[in-house]
Structure 1
Amino acid sequence: MSLYSDYPAARTRQIVADSVGVVAVIIVIAIASAVTAAIRTLGSFGRDLEAAGLDFQEGLSGAADALGDVPLIGDGIRGPFDAAASAGASVAEAGRGQQQFVEFVAISTGLTVALIPLLLLTLLWVLPRVRFARRSSALRRMLAGGMTADTLAARAVARAPLAQLVAVHPDPAAAWRSHDPKALRALAAIELRRAGIRLDALP
């Protein structure tokens, strides 16, 4: 696959664009990771809440078990402690819920921060580069298969901007129909340049 133009100026622009694009991707990923990590720190409150709830639950459960062993009155005494231990379990569950919510927000925000710039980079950089590479590679294969200046000129007349065509000939379609050798090569050069291929590649 032909990634770069044969023309030095165009090739330099493509290399610079690719370098900037790669750096931009790295920066976007780094920023998204930093945002995700920053939001995740908010989960520390949930972790502390869960730990406090579990400690409270374990302490009261232990007290309830100890008091429950007291003959005659044990079952009656442990009831309030069991209820309070259940409240500790609820606190721990609330802490876990807060952590899960923070994790969801962290991942969602990180993905949003990354995906929007990456989508723009795809539209503005990746897709044009892929289109160029496919066009250049396809045209090089056709040249290797014997494509002539006549065919290339016809493609240019059909696809190239009018300003480029009239710079070659006031009536580019007429020049193509008349098979003017000079005009055909000039028109072919327009099509080749769009694919980053030099005219000397033409058989």
Structure 2
Amino acid sequence: MKWYADRPVRLAGQVIADLSAVAWVAVWIWVATTVHDWVLELRAPGDGLVNAGGSIRDVFTNAADKARGLPLVGGDLAGALGNGTRAGETLTSAGNAQIAVVQDSAFWLATAIVAVPVLFLLITWLPVRLHYARKAGNTLKLRDKPDLLALRALTSLSPRQLAKFDGDPAVAWRTGDTDVIDELARRQLLALGVRA
């Protein structure tokens, strides 16, 4: 396979197309990263719940520990304060659940933002590049077989290009006219941007 043409004009076009493809992917990665960061900012309420729940849990846990030391009512009071500890833990769990949802949403949204344009690129740009690489590589294998290249040129060159020959190039090819065969082979290689 031959990835790039030898002719400067076609080579420049291929390099520009490839660089554009890389830039396309880079832009969408940047967009996805930016959106990911924006969505992660939505986790602030969850962080607030985790912090508030942790503070409430710690306050009620400390109060319950101190209440246990009171005579007569210490156990009952510590049990009642334990409910406050559980409420703090519930707030912390709710905050962690919200944070997890935001983080998952940010990840999958960023993945979709990158995947769709990259798939579009792979469906449009990559087959064209692979087709050229295979065709140019196979044509290079025929470089030492001008008769086959000339036959290919007769079937692939435009009528306008074939009309530029003096006489009928198909007749010249059938009769073995080496000048016409060499010119047809050269034009077939040039049509692919391959050096003749």
Q: 1:18-33 counterparts in 2 under 5 A?
A: 18-33=18-33
Per-residue CA deviations over 1:71-106 (Å, capped at 9, x if unaligned) read 222111122211121111111011111111111111
The answer on 1:134 being equivalent to 2:116 is no
Q: 2:76 & 2:12 partners in 1: Cα distance?
A: 86
Change (3 A) 1:85 1:138: same
Note the C-alpha offset of 1:178: 4.4
Matched, 1:195 2:192: yes
Partner Cα separation in structure 1 for residue 109 and residue 118 of structure 2:
14
Matches for 1:4-153 after TM superposition, within 5 Å = 4-143=4-143, 147-153=144-150
What's the secondary structure of 2:6's corresponding residue?
coil
Relative to structure 1, the CA distance from residue 80 to residue 167 in structure 2 (aligned partners, 3 Å threshold; closer, same or farther) is farther
Q: How many residues align?
A: 195
Q: Which residue of 2 aligns with 1:2?
A: 2
Whichever residue aligns with residue 151 of structure 2, its letter is A
Q: Which has the higher contact order (CA 8 A, sep 6+)?
A: 2
Superposed CA deviations along residues 135-192 of structure 1, whole A, max 9, x for unmatched, are: 323433443xxx411122334456x366477547798766654444455344434542
Percent of paired sites with the same residue: 29
2:103 partner SS: helix
RMSD: 2.7
Q: Indicate the larger mover: 20-29 or 1-10.
A: 1-10
Distance 2:74 2:146 in 1: 103
Instruction: Give the secondary-structure state (helix, strand or coil) at the position aligned to 1:41.
Output: helix
Q: How does 1:145-164 map to 2 (within 5 A)?
A: 147-156=144-153, 160=156, 163=159
- The range that moved more, 122-131 or 20-29, is 122-131
Over 3 Å counting, the alpha-carbon distance change for 1:97 and 1:175 in structure 2 is: farther
CA distance in structure 2 between the partners assigned to 1:71 and 1:171 by the alignment = 118
- Would you say the 8 A contact 1:165–1:187 is kept in 2? no
Change (3 A) 1:51 1:106: same
Unaligned runs of 5+ in 1: none
Residues 155, 56 of structure 1: CA spacing in aligned structure 2 closer, same or farther, 3 A cutoff? same
Distance 1:164 1:66, change over 3 A: farther
Tell me the distance in 2 between the aligned counterparts of 1:15 and 1:71: 85
Q: Residues 28 and 114 of structure 2 are in contact (CA less than 8 Å); yes or no, is this contact kept in structure 1?
A: yes
Q: Which ranges of structure 2 fall in alignment gaps of 5 or more residues?
A: none
1:71/1:141 CA distance change after superposition, 3 Å: farther
Q: 1:98 to 1:163 in 2, by over 3 A?
A: farther
